[in-house]
A = this chain, B = another copy of it.
């Protein structure tokens, strides 16, 4: 947990009654959004975006099927009405109505009697995890298939004949996505990204979408220093399309946070940006360190989510990912067991608080210039130094206010690095002070006209 909830986090989310309100809201969103059959295009995505807009407004956009986006092309829409495998007695032994993972996403239509032998190459199971239905897709190659538990598979009659029906269709439509641009005072813009294409999978990525909309609502209430671009798209094709449609704007992005797998019961983790030591990495590390919260560190890997596109040679946007049960790292990942039992509203609320704490520290990123750079300025004549001194640390118990030494030290650290180029995160690392404490010192020094902000901020 964030140590000093009051300051690092949302006021409302550490207040017990507000927490309760949030938990109810998150659970309600989980329940409504989980069953929708999302894919990279189609009605499931539209229904999802509409539900999220009910929480907080953002702009919905779309791109037509067939539009070229760099090396890719927007696919046709895929909508599905029903899909099942029925045995000879007509019993639907596998049914898309039961779980939308049962159909390989983007499967072509079929309606045939097939022997088990002919059917088998189209069946996907997990022999090592016999109770779980795997999640499979086939977006860019026309085929069809069913996913089922290995236990279901074992019960099928090797000599039997099955009716196999998928009532789906492809048609020229569009790819839907959402975005919102929150304006700040600085010339820096950060990207807050999530993806909305996965069907009934809870941690990946129902959790990311819910975090995204709550974060958007929260930041909208604030007077922001930086600009924040919120983007929600289907994974891969969505971010590629977004890059191609917003090339100039995206070249200016200073850094990104990818929201995915944030509500599991496990440990917090952080996947580094491709640079490993970017501002985003420093801030995330610093934020968790200040609060004494452990963090599993995952080095950058090209295999992952949309950072692989955002960080590509042409854009090179450094993108970090804070996770709670990171994708790939838990057994339930991309199976029917990544369901509502795997996640919790409490975990998501924690993730919300951490992301807000990180953004708070990102907001504190600015460089300053001391207006008295020739020596330490005289704090005493400005009422910032105790009247009687000699050993401030020792005096704590001797009548002087308790943390005066610490407060004076924070002022002096900020003044010492008031060279117009040292970012606050670096002062935090060198001094051992939290960015929040340093930012308080900054405010005091600005008020007393001892410091001025430099750089792109207006």
Which residues of A come within 8 Å of B, CB atoms?
A: 70-72, 104, 121, 124-128, 134-138, 140-141, 143, 145, 236, 239-240, 243-244, 247, 274, 300, 302-303, 308-309, 311-315, 328, 333-334, 369-370, 372-378, 380-381, 385, 387-391, 393-394, 397-399, 405, 408-409, 412-413, 415-416, 418-419, 430-431
CA distance A390 to B408 in the complex (A): 55
> A308 near B390 (CB under 8 angstroms)?
no
A interface majority secondary structure: loop
Q: Given A125-B398, A388-B138, A389-B138, does the pair A70, B374 have CB atoms closer than 8 Å?
A: yes
Q: Given A312-B416, A412-B303, does the pair A126, B388 have CB atoms closer than 8 Å?
A: no
> A311 near B416 (CB under 8 angstroms)?
yes
A421 to chain B minimum Cβ distance, whole angstroms, is: 10
> A334 near B124 (CB under 8 angstroms)?
no
CA distance A409 to B304 in the complex (A): 10
CA distance A302 to B431 in the complex (A): 9
Q: Given A243-B375, A390-B135, does the pair A124, B380 have CB atoms closer than 8 Å?
A: no
* Count of chain copies: 3
Nearest residue, chain B, Cβ from A107? B388
22 contacts between A and B (CB under 8 A): A70-B372, A70-B374, A70-B377, A71-B372, A71-B375, A71-B377, A134-B394, A135-B390, A135-B391, A137-B388, A137-B389, A138-B388, A143-B388, A247-B374, A274-B416, A303-B405, A303-B408, A308-B375, A312-B374, A313-B369, A314-B373, A315-B374
Nearest residue, chain B, Cβ from A315? B374
CA distance A141 to B380 in the complex (A): 8
A380: chain B residues within 8 A (beta carbon): 140-141
A426 to chain B minimum Cβ distance, whole angstroms, is: 13
A448 to chain B minimum Cβ distance, whole angstroms, is: 11
> A313 near B378 (CB under 8 angstroms)?
no
CA distance A198 to B311 in the complex (A): 56
Nearest residue, chain B, Cβ from A72? B378
A399: chain B residues within 8 A (beta carbon): 121, 124
